[in-house]
Structure 1
Amino acid sequence: MTAPHRDLPSLDLAPPDLLRVSPLLRDLQEQGPLCRVRTPAGDEGWLVTRHTLLKELLHDERIGHSHPDPANAAQYVRNPFLDMMITDTDAESARRTHTESRQLLAPMFAARRMREMEPRVAAVVDAVLDDFTGRTPPGDVHGGVSVPVATTVLCDIIGVPPQSREPLTALMAETAVLGDREGVRRMQRDLYALVAELVGGKRAEPGEDIITRLIAGGLSDERVTHLAVGLLFAGLDSVVTIMDHGVVLLAAHPEQRAAALADPDVMTRAVEEVLRAAKAGGSILPRYATEDLTVAGETIRAGDLVLFDFSLPNFDERAFDEPEQFDVTRSPNPHLTFAHGIWHCIGAPLARIELNTVFTQLFTRLPGLRLAHPEDELAVRTGRLSGGLSELPVTW
């Protein structure tokens, strides 16, 4: 763990203004592409602030999940689930495991396979919106649309049966809590036990899902369980948050929303712009240098914490014209929300389909949809690994 020895800019977990970069992060971005900071856990680390450098480092195999002493590694926040992401294996073994996992999973999320999923996603969205639009306004898009769509689609493709989804998502929520290490460890054990039980069930009764395919590939139940839990964490809250924020953005820009609804090509670009703008300052993930390296004139030592922020560089004026402006016609749009290179999100094609379908169908069915409260009154979740909204009240 890094010993504090000097004054540094301190990152905190206070929720930023919705969809806006915090003044601190903006100041750090202007100071340079790589800034020494103090994390919410009180440790020291390097924050990557600019687009060009983040894209470069996402290809650098000298930065990854490996650390020689995980128990004493500097941390971004204190949470046992994040601790599990740090491995004490040597850097080469860690890279090999990462590559093997991607090779196993990437074909299951390939763009062609995901296009074949479009009718299934559309059917899920239709069913959810039938229920949502059948109620008297106001309604909660977060709990009534984003959560059920993202949960149903992801659980369907992974192989989580309907009766297991509520307990599963409840355990995932408790595992993401900050400040209760023992409670999180208990929930984590229960979560893995539940998913392991599902894996055992699929081994006995295979289905058309990712768990079944992983089992058929000869993986052990333990390995399949670990991969399934990782997919659930990577693909649920993040999609819910972007979906919520996308509704806020499109509701706030009716002319741009109308242009997107009138032209599928514009809607495709609108989804990319939502992805770029939807999580300002809320997507930091910890990595570690596996050897000394010089970056942007600074020396990062082996074992140093390196913070990849997948949203701040999306507001870098060096990469985007008027990044604070929401523009559904923006092209090109090289956002890094799905990371890049060896860390690129394998679930990106599925997420894009979900977002496009929800935005198109929601605003087509409810053309008068608008926020029920001002943007600055929306409730943002705190005390958890992921931010996002706890509720998104709308009316129509």
Structure 2
Amino acid sequence: MTASPQDLPSLNLETPALLTVSPLLRALQEQGPVCRVRTPAGDEGWLVTRHAELKQLLHDERIGRSHPDPANAPRYVRSAYLDLMITDTDAEAGRRTHTEYRRLLTPMFSARRVHAMQPQVAEVVDAVLDRFIAQGPPGDLHGGVSTPVALTVLCDIIGIPVESREQLTTLLSQMALLNDRESVERGQRDLFAFIEGLVEQKRTTPGDDIMTRLTEGGLPEARVAPLAVGLLFAGLDSVVTIMDDGVVLLSTHPEQRAAALADPDLMTLAVEEVLRAAKAGGSVLPRYASEDVEIGGVTIRSGDLVLFDFSLSNFDERAYTEPERFDITRSPNPHLTLAHGIWHCIGAPLARIELKTVFTKLFTRLPDLRLVRPVDELRMLDGRLSGGLTELPVTW
């Protein structure tokens, strides 16, 4: 039985307790694999709650960014940044564009290239930890380790000069705000102009980075800038959040942490379990159906909003035994945190290396590191696209 529009369950942006599935999301997951909901923006959409159906739709080319009327398309949230992702091109053209962008970017995150970056990532992590440890305990690991590591690694590979990174951080923060449209739109213009200026510089002062390679490939500044901005949004806050939550998980499971530190292969598995368990719902990617799609006993109509919740699917009891239990020996571990199929995160190899390096070096250099506050007292960001912790106080 389908709920009437007035009776639809309403999603909101209130973050549940850290690492815990909210009662609403758990109830929706039990109700069905694809549920009609009301979004935080007040529009109607379909929330994909279960692992099998999400994986199936991540391969379905009828779900994408295209909508025939972007200005009036249903929204997940009111966000000028997310609005940029809605195109009015036909679905086939949208698929071609998506494929082209992946073709351009994927070689820059190849296994060989990322493997070669391991010493560089280790150097960044050591330098950040040197500064963090020198300040003495207690410290904010979110602001003192996770954020500078993720920002430095990402800026290095994209090609953002060191002297420009403070300005970049300010511009990204403006774009992430949900409630101040004027500020976001101004930040959007400033951010694209900022990136286009850097791309122009690469023509005369090239480097071993993504912007240089795209520029040398003949792309104009106006095309390179959206790719660079997309990588920054996809690879910064998400990695910071997983890094923070991974430290919480490993800190509160000391026996598993010790086992992972003693065995690099087990640490590799630990990273996968952190990726699976780091967020328990709310990692939503909005998309649109370009044709009617039958799935999970419902019909998603052309033009309907479809919400992929990557983290909720990782807590589906149909895909995992005891999904709310943190277990670094879990195998297989087919989590969808980094998406799948045509939407799989191209930066996944780099993210994995960052996480493994940070967890290994942090807990090796600070074996007595522990949380200052109980997990249920850690505060989450409010009114932001990425969520995550406001700070992560630790001592050692």
Please, what TM-score do these two structures have when normalized by structure 1? 0.98
Q: Tell me which residue corresponds to 2:373.
A: 373
Q: Note the C-alpha offset of 1:379.
A: 1.5
Q: Note the C-alpha offset of 1:155.
A: 0.1
Q: Distance in 2 between matches of 1:83 and 1:105?
A: 22
* Aligned AA (1:75): R
The secondary structure found in structure 1 opposite 2:6 is coil
* Aligned AA (1:265): D
Q: Tell me which residue corresponds to 2:178.
A: 178
Q: Tell me which residue corresponds to 1:11.
A: 11
The secondary structure found in structure 2 opposite 1:311 is helix
The Cα offsets for residues 197-254 of structure 1, whole Å up to 9 and x where unpaired, read as 1111111211110000001111111101111111111100000000000000000000
Q: Tell me which residue corresponds to 1:384.
A: 384
Q: Tell me which residue corresponds to 2:361.
A: 361
Q: Note the C-alpha offset of 1:367.
A: 0.5
Q: Tell me which residue corresponds to 2:21.
A: 21
The Cα offsets for residues 107-143 of structure 1, whole Å up to 9 and x where unpaired, read as 1001111010000000000000111111220011000
Q: Note the C-alpha offset of 1:6.
A: 2.4
Using the TM superposition, name which of 339-348 and 132-141 deviates more.
132-141
Percent identity over the alignment is 74
The secondary structure found in structure 2 opposite 1:315 is coil
Which sections of structure 1, spanning at least 5 residues, go unmatched?
none
Q: Note the C-alpha offset of 1:296.
A: 1.3
Matched, 1:294 2:272: no
Q: Tell me which residue corresponds to 1:325.
A: 325
Q: Distance in 2 between matches of 1:153 and 1:138?
A: 25
Matched, 1:228 2:263: no
Q: Tell me which residue corresponds to 1:242.
A: 242
Matched, 1:71 2:71: yes
Q: Note the C-alpha offset of 1:282.
A: 2.6
Q: Tell me which residue corresponds to 1:144.
A: 144
The secondary structure found in structure 1 opposite 2:363 is helix
* Aligned AA (1:261): L
Q: Tell me which residue corresponds to 1:47.
A: 47
Following superposition of structure 1 onto structure 2, how do residues 326-345 of structure 1 map, counting pairs within 5 Å?
A: 326-345=326-345
Are the counterparts in 2 of residues 282 and 386 from structure 1 also a CA contact under 8 Å? no
The Cα offsets for residues 303-357 of structure 1, whole Å up to 9 and x where unpaired, read as 0000000100000011011000000111110000000000000000000000000
Q: Tell me which residue corresponds to 1:274.
A: 274
Q: Distance in 2 between matches of 1:81 and 1:130?
A: 35
Are the counterparts in 2 of residues 58 and 342 from structure 1 also a CA contact under 8 Å? yes
* Aligned AA (2:222): E
Q: Note the C-alpha offset of 1:183.
A: 1.2
Q: How many residues align?
A: 393
* Aligned AA (2:211): I
Q: Tell me which residue corresponds to 1:258.
A: 258
Q: Distance in 1 between matches of 2:110 and 2:330?
A: 25
Q: Note the C-alpha offset of 1:294.
A: 1.1
* Aligned AA (2:341): G
* Aligned AA (2:210): I
Q: Tell me which residue corresponds to 2:117.
A: 117
Q: Distance in 2 between matches of 1:372 and 1:167?
A: 31
Q: Note the C-alpha offset of 1:297.
A: 1.5
Q: Note the C-alpha offset of 1:33.
A: 0.3
Q: Note the C-alpha offset of 1:5.
A: 3.8
The Cα offsets for residues 150-195 of structure 1, whole Å up to 9 and x where unpaired, read as 0000000000001111110111011110111111100111111111
Q: Distance in 2 between matches of 1:8 and 1:269?
A: 39
* Aligned AA (1:61): E
Q: Note the C-alpha offset of 1:90.
A: 0.3
The secondary structure found in structure 1 opposite 2:214 is helix
Q: Tell me which residue corresponds to 1:163.
A: 163
Which sections of structure 2, spanning at least 5 residues, go unmatched?
none
Q: Distance in 1 between matches of 2:337 and 2:308?
A: 11
Are the counterparts in 2 of residues 65 and 87 from structure 1 also a CA contact under 8 Å? yes
Q: Distance in 1 between matches of 2:152 and 2:271?
A: 20
Matched, 1:210 2:210: yes
Q: Distance in 2 between matches of 1:116 and 1:393?
A: 33
Runs of 4+ in 1 over 2 A off after TM superposition: none
The secondary structure found in structure 1 opposite 2:299 is strand
CA RMSD between the two structures: 0.8
* Aligned AA (1:115): H
Matched, 1:36 2:28: no
Q: Distance in 2 between matches of 1:142 and 1:29?
A: 31
Q: Distance in 2 between matches of 1:27 and 1:35?
A: 10
Q: Distance in 1 between matches of 2:274 and 2:191?
A: 31
